[in-house]
């Protein structure tokens, strides 16, 4: 109970510090009129359940940097560069308003070149990336909507409890020392409550979430 209270307070303090102009990990999007749910259409969204801290190594927070980090933890770009389905958008409360996802990355099953083609067929973990870099709030933090999805025959819908499962698998793969392409990363994690409500209200596919957001700080060694 005490750890949850501390985590919730941490989320509030992070937002307050950022408004004051301090360098912080991220800003709670709701402080700027945004949401911790992206827009999946028809009035529902997917939880932004992992945040790559703005205090991570700057190179990690670039487009090429997050792709290389993703490859270090078992994800890669979409199969043959082909994206099926429309992009989702998110309002991170940074002054940019709703912005389409920067990219979508998928589990590569050990092959960073073509492994995501297998994920497209049999399902697996995947995540969407949104960057907090507006005129009101420019932390550079990356907000990720992570979930585990079904195979192509099931239309790539989310597996039962897929938002919590996807987040936990992602964090499990990211923690500690990882490397790809000559770059080595050290990653630490902090669970934060109070940013997302628990339950299924407003959640895509009506799948309940536990309300936990994991903040990752990724440092290049």
Express each pLDDT in 20-66 by its tens digit: 344 899 999 999 999 999 999 889 999 999 999 999 999 999 999 99
Q: CA neighbours within 13 Å on the CB side: how many for 207?
A: 18
| pLDDT score for 186 | 98
Beta bridge partners of 220: 185
pLDDT < 50 stretches in the chain: 1-22, 154
Q: Which pLDDT score, from 0 to 100, does residue 108 have?
A: 79
At residue 109, the pLDDT reads 74
Residue 172: CB atoms within 10 A of its CB come to 11
Residue in the structure block whose two tokens are 């999805």: 149
Mean pLDDT of the chain: 86
Query: What DSSP string describes 160-217?
Result: TTHHHHHHHHHHHHHSEEEEETTEEEEEEEEEE-SSS-SBSTTBGGG--B---EEEEE
At 189 the pLDDT is 98
Q: How far apart are CA 7 and CA 19, in angstroms?
A: 19
Sequence-distant (6+) residues with CB within 8 A of 182 are none
pTM of the predicted protein model? 0.86
Cα–Cα distance between 119 and 117 in angstroms, integer? 5
């Amino acid at each position: 109970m005490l750890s949850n209270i501390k985590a919730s307070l941490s989320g509030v303090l992070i937002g307050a510090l950022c408004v004051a102009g301090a360098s912080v990990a991220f800003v709670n999007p709701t402080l700027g009129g945004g949401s911790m749910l992206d827009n999946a259409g028809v009035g529902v969204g997917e939880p932004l359940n992992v945040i790559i801290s703005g205090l991570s190594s700057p190179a990690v927070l670039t487009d090429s940097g997050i792709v290389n980090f993703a490859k270090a933890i078992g994800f890669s770009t979409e199969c043959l560069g082909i994206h099926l389905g429309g992009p989702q958008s998110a309002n991170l409360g940074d002054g940019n308003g709703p912005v389409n996802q920067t990219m979508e990355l998928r589990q590569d099953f050990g092959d960073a070149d073509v492994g995501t083609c297998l994920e497209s067929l049999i399902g697996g973990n995947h995540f969407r990336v949104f960057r907090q870099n507006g005129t009101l709030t420019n932390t550079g933090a990356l907000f990720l909507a992570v979930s585990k999805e079904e195979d192509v025959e099931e239309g790539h819908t989310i597996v039962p409890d897929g938002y919590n499962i996807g987040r936990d698998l992602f964090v499990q793969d990211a923690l500690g020392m990882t490397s790809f392409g000559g770059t080595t990363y050290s990653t630490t994690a902090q669970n934060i409550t109070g940013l997302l409500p628990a339950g299924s209200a407003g959640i895509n596919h009506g799948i309940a979430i536990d309300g936990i957001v994991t903040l990752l700080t990724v440092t290049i060694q």
